[in-house]
């Protein structure tokens, strides 16, 4: 089966398994796991933030950020198709009791003036606009990159209104690889940033949340409250360290696979795709011949699994466990359907 549903489906390589096997571990709830501590220090350096906290998932990283930046009844501005709004089971309402204010973006990118329009004036009957969240790369928009000038402008706006900024950087290394802009520079426009080891970086589990000491102290407490205090988590952190050492530079290969796939299927009569949105490893497209589920089922019968995107969209995601030959086969199988 050629599995291009997501870059989350990768399995740890031999080298990564060796790193896991040889990891030095301790009880991380006591702060005594040397490998977790090493990973957290590495991530602080990479992002230029004071502290980092290893967490099981990208969702937990985002939710800890929302929790630590807000108080009950605050408002959070984010993009309408963002992961936090669409795929995190209303957790901001449950965990933080905050209201989400969604602004539609163009390919996942919000307009600065539009954001400013919806920042609440100070009056007792308004919620307090406390946090703005961006997503880079933007998943539902098709792995699109947030332009750095736009991020900078939103960050300046946030400073002006004393609003905190969080970056859901689950795939920030994909953005950084594609643009050449260091992760540290992206991170510099935010109070907090999270990213995942378990997506394009190929680790089985794990994400990181970075920010200043006060923020991470609060996030650490909430990680414990949510049951995310892990013990000998060094076995997982070792996979994260291995991923940073070995799987970052190769992300450009996944971008090439996505480009090839997108260009090939764009030539098929009955496939709708906007090639301009293919910036990294995700390809969003739709079909005028098949309904979404029908397309997915037919292709699965041919040995290729893709996932469902927003609305009638289909999604293919390229990663280190799918070879260029398999990408070619996937294209052939789609062509057979038309
Ligand atoms: N995304 C998953 C699904 O949940 C859609 C995927 O297959 O792409 N932020 C972004 C931008 C993400 O894409 C994801 C996962 C997360 C956060 C959450 O990460 P996990 O799954 O580790 O909680």
CATH of the domain at 100: 3.40.640.10
144 lines ligand 1 (CB under 6 A): no
Which pLDDT score, from 0 to 100, does residue 131 have? Answer: 98
> What phi, psi does 121 have (nearest 5°)?
-70, 160
pLDDT surpassing 90 at residue 93: yes
CA of 99 to the centre of ligand 1 (A): 21
Residue 233 and residue 241: Cα distance in Å, rounded? Answer: 12
Domain boundary among 209, 225, 246: 246
Same domain, 233 and 282: no
Same domain, 223 and 327: no
196 lines ligand 1 (CB under 6 A): yes
Domain boundary among 188, 216, 246: 246
35 lines ligand 1 (CB under 6 A): no
Tell me the two tokens of residue 51.
Answer: 């502290």
CA of 217 to the centre of ligand 1 (A): 24
Same domain, 169 and 268: no
Q: Which domain holds residue 315?
A: 2-6+249-337
Which residue has its alpha carbon closest to ligand 1 atom 7?
Answer: 6
* Angle CA 212–216–217, to nearest 5: 115
Judging by DSSP bridges, how do beta strands 271-272 and 307-308 pair with one another?
Answer: unpaired
Closest CA relative to residue 144, chosen from 268, 229, 262, 299: 262
Q: Could you tell me the pLDDT band of residue 104, with boundaries at 50, 70 and 90?
A: very high
Which pLDDT score, from 0 to 100, does residue 164 have? Answer: 98
Domain containing 328 — which CATH number? 3.90.1150.10
Spatial CB neighbours of 317, under 8 Å, sequence gap ≥ 6: 4, 5, 6, 7, 143, 281, 282, 283, 307
Same domain, 91 and 240: yes
Same domain, 212 and 292: no
279 lines ligand 1 (CB under 6 A): no
Q: How many domains does the chain contain in total?
A: 2
How do residues 188-226 score in pLDDT, each as one tens digit? 999 999 999 999 999 999 999 999 999 999 999 999 999
Q: Could you tell me the pLDDT band of residue 258, with boundaries at 50, 70 and 90?
A: very high
Residue 93 and residue 101: Cα distance in Å, rounded? Answer: 12
Same domain, 30 and 171: yes
Same domain, 241 and 253: no
Helical H runs in the chain? 14-21, 34-47, 58-69, 83-86, 91, 112-117, 148-160, 172-179, 183-187, 213-225, 234-246, 251-266, 292-301, 324-336
286 lines ligand 1 (CB under 6 A): no
Interval 235-259 mean pLDDT: 98
DSSP for 176-231? HHHH---HHHHHTT-SEEEEESSSTT--SS-EEEEE-HHHHHHHHHHHHHTT---S
58 lines ligand 1 (CB under 6 A): yes
Counting from 1 in the atom list of ligand 1, the atom nearest the Cα of 135 is 11
310 lines ligand 1 (CB under 6 A): no
55 lines ligand 1 (CB under 6 A): no
How do residues 32-80 score in pLDDT, each as one tens digit? 999 999 999 999 999 999 999 999 999 999 999 999 999 999 999 999 9
Domain boundary among 213, 246, 279: 246
Interval 142-146 mean pLDDT: 98
> What phi, psi does 57 have (nearest 5°)?
-140, 165
Counting from 1 in the atom list of ligand 1, the atom nearest the Cα of 198 is 22
Same domain, 324 and 184: no
Residue 269 and residue 287: Cα distance in Å, rounded? Answer: 9
Contact predicate 271/241, CB 8 Å = no
Contact predicate 92/121, CB 8 Å = no
Interval 104-131 mean pLDDT: 98
pLDDT surpassing 90 at residue 124: yes
Same domain, 172 and 92: yes
Same domain, 299 and 311: yes
DSSP for 40-76? HHHHHHHHT-SEEEEES-HHHHHHHHHHHH--TT-EE
Interval 85-105 mean pLDDT: 98
Counting from 1 in the atom list of ligand 1, the atom nearest the Cα of 282 is 8
Which pLDDT score, from 0 to 100, does residue 59 have? Answer: 98
Backbone region of residue 176 per phi and psi (left: phi > 0; alpha: psi in -120 to 50; beta: other values): alpha
Same domain, 39 and 170: yes
Same domain, 293 and 221: no
CA of 336 to the centre of ligand 1 (A): 31
207 lines ligand 1 (CB under 6 A): yes
Interval 108-137 mean pLDDT: 98
Which pLDDT score, from 0 to 100, does residue 310 have? Answer: 87
Counting from 1 in the atom list of ligand 1, the atom nearest the Cα of 8 is 7
DSSP character for 148?
H
280 lines ligand 1 (CB under 6 A): no
């Amino acid at each position: 089966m050629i599995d291009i549903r997501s870059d989350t489906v990768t399995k740890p390589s031999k080298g990564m398994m060796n790193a896991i096997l040889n990891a030095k571990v301790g009880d991380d709830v006591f702060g005594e796991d040397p490998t977790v501590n090493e990973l957290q220090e590495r991530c602080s350096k990479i992002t230029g933030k004071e502290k980092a906290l290893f967490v099981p998932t990208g969702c937990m990283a985002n939710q800890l950020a929302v929790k630590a930046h807000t108080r009950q009844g605050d408002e959070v501005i984010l993009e309408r198709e963002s992961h936090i709004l669409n795929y995190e089971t209303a957790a901001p309402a449950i965990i933080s009791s905050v209201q989400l204010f969604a602004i539609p973006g163009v390919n996942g990118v919000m307009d600065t003036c539009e954001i400013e329009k919806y920042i609440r004036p100070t009056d007792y009957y308004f919620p307090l606009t406390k946090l703005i969240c961006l997503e880079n790369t933007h998943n539902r928009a098709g792995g699109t990159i947030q332009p750095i000038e736009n991020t900078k402008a939103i960050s300046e706006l946030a400073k002006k209104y004393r609003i905190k900024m969080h970056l859901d950087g689950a795939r920030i290394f994909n953005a950084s690889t594609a643009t050449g802009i260091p992760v540290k520079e992206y991170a510099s426009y935010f109070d907090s940033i999270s990213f995942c080891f378990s997506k394009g970086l190929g680790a089985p589990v794990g994400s990181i949340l970075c920010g200043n000491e006060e923020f991470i102290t609060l996030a650490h407490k909430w990680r414990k409250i949510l049951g995310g205090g892990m013990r000998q988590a060094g076995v997982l952190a070792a996979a994260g360290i291995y991923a940073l050492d070995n799987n970052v530079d190769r992300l450009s290969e996944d971008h090439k696979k996505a480009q090839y796939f997108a260009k090939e299927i764009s030539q098929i009569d009955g496939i709708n795709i906007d090639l301009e949105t293919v910036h990294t490893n995700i390809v969003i497209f739709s079909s005028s011949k098949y309904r979404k589920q029908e397309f997915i089922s037919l292709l699965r019968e041919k040995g290729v699994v893709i996932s469902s995107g927003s609305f009638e969209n289909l999604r293919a995601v390229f990663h280190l466990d799918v070879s260029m030959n398999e990408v070619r086969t996937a294209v052939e199988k789609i062509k057979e359907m038309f």
